[in-house]
Structure 1
Amino acid sequence: MNLKIAAIAGDGIGPEVLSEALQALRLLCDQEGVDLSVDEFPFGADHYLSTGELLPDAFVGRVRDDYHAVLFGAVGDPRIRDDAYGRGILLRLRQELDLYVNYRPYAFRALNGLFREQLLDCVVFRENTEDVYTASGGLLSRGGRNVLAIENAIFTREAVERIVRCAFRHAATEGRRSVMLCDKGNAMKFAGALWREVFRDVAAEHPGIEARHMYIDAACMELVRDPGRFDVVVASNLFGDILSDLAAQMAGGIGFSPSANRNPDHPHFLGLYEPVHGSAPDIAGQGLANPAGALLSVALLLRDHGLKTAHDRMVQAVTATVASGLRTRDAGGQASTAAFGAAVRRQLSA
């Protein structure tokens, strides 16, 4: 078996966490007999500021055709104020590769006890290509302070249906008990009607799975009050973004949160895997970043490549490292990025 990865470290703490992720990936692939090749690309703030280039036009097609996956660090640099910078790298890859599933699991049990007695064990399916992330809208100035801002939320039935189907399919194959739609249909009349109609239609095809609904504001409150109510969650791009970050904090902190951006219909390219934390420029280069999210993103990549045993071993190694008391500062410890990564590799080699 072979595995070919395009690695983009990006900005801030991205290079630090991606270094640990790649070291662990190489170790696991060596142990599992996987022929791994990694090509590292320089795309990020330094490259942009020196060349004016975000991503070469041919790069997206090359990634889709020549690689199994992209492993990504982080994007964002205080030297670049234009929001188009971040959209031109990460969002472009998501949209042009049609990675319509943003999959985020939250079951990191070793840290749950630091925050509450109840365990959180849920997965969020976030639609990844539409909503307000399409940059549809504009500013209309009527002179002076009279400015009108329009931000269009775009939804198509095709996009809504395929993400809802993915959520129910996951629940069915993984033995999950329920799928919850989180929306704001009482305020977003037309989008709400579309999401609910699709949700009802797909739910009818899965009578053994409980179909549930909750408004996004109520869902945020209930996630804090009673996390055990949440199993599989499906939501639009914006609401999924908000809810999944809250779930990350409930599960121990955003530094532990992995994600997979996928298109399950693609025959070769698995997707883009990344920790969901930002570039954290204030701590970059200091060895303070938590690499767990990047390590667990590698676990998702391995699982999607058919390496379930390697996935489980990575999750167990990260969990055991945290349970041993070795933690980075965001989790109440003093371990450096490199020390945490080395400890995980020792667990993998034990």
Structure 2
Amino acid sequence: MRILVAPDKFAGTLTAVEAAEAIADGWRRTSPEAEVVPIPMADGGPGFVDVLHASLGGELLAGSVSGPLAEPVPATFLLVEDVAYIESAQACGLALMPLGPDGRTPEPGAVNRASTYGVGQLIGSAVQSGARRVVIGLGGSGTNDGGAGLLAALGATSEPAGALTRGPDGLAELTSVDLGPALERLAGVELVAASDVDNPLLGLRGASNVFGAQKGLVDEDARLAADAALSRLAEAVERKTAEAAGAGAAGGLGYALLVLGGRREPGFATVASAVGLSDLVTASDLVITGEGKLDWQSMNGKVPVGVAGVANAALRPCIALAGAVQVGNRELRANGIEAAYSLVDIVGEEQAFAQPAQSLAAVAARVAKTWGRAR
């Protein structure tokens, strides 16, 4: 029996690579005769580069870039022949933002001065290293600058000078932008924004109003001010693209990539294509997916439902292991997942968080008693 293990990360406890290995190890305890193939997955957010490196190989190139508040942060990109894969969260991720008084959520207002400059630096480094196609995973961002910092890092200039690099606070003063130097630098390079977010840049469904609260724009006035700042950017660069699907991804990073001539691809589909998921599923008897919390958001284009969709197309059963399962069986089956198993329910919350890899392996070993035989 051939088992394909294709989970996302278990946020806060395990990377997708670690989760895939834990499930595979547990399964082998019960079914040592099974061929278990771990293929970690991602949808463009944190873990994007590690997941692709685990499947594609290639060269990881490390360096230091400017973080969201201009502090140096380590970052890597993956180079596979002339294709580079970049994880924007490494340079502007929510995890890099200072925490507020509660110790859990970002410091209120810090996002107003946060920049995506480091993402532009990574793109520039990838091009300098020979990449002719650059795929940027969008997700988990702590910024809301419309990708203005990225534009500046690639050579775009503004009036007043420096307005592109100071987050929404800087954009509030913006009067003009010249993209010419950035476009010249990227001539002949294909940009791909890998994101499942289809929100526009502005308005009620835009970056500030939909995602701003989780980044520290805690009240309506703050979100309206941030949206107005992004509107000034759009007026100075190109208004029409602000309405495009995905322009609001990662605090507007999608917008910057689109105005530079890039195109948007669903993040899950990008990874699935790169690792050859469809062929791997077809060659398997059972598919296992999972993530930290299987909830209503998972049913909206996240990795588990994406994997289940590929499995269903190939007429292969798909099950899920998760830290917690917060949707019912009817909804799971409607989305192609035949059964889901919760670590919290099986081993208890304390153990699930204290020993996540061991707990996940134990649950996989238990589930293999039911599913580890020909069906």
- If the length of structure 1 is used for normalisation, what is the TM-score? 0.34
- Bigger RCO (CA 8 Å, 6+ sep): 1
Larger-Rg structure: 2
- If the length of structure 2 is used for normalisation, what is the TM-score? 0.33
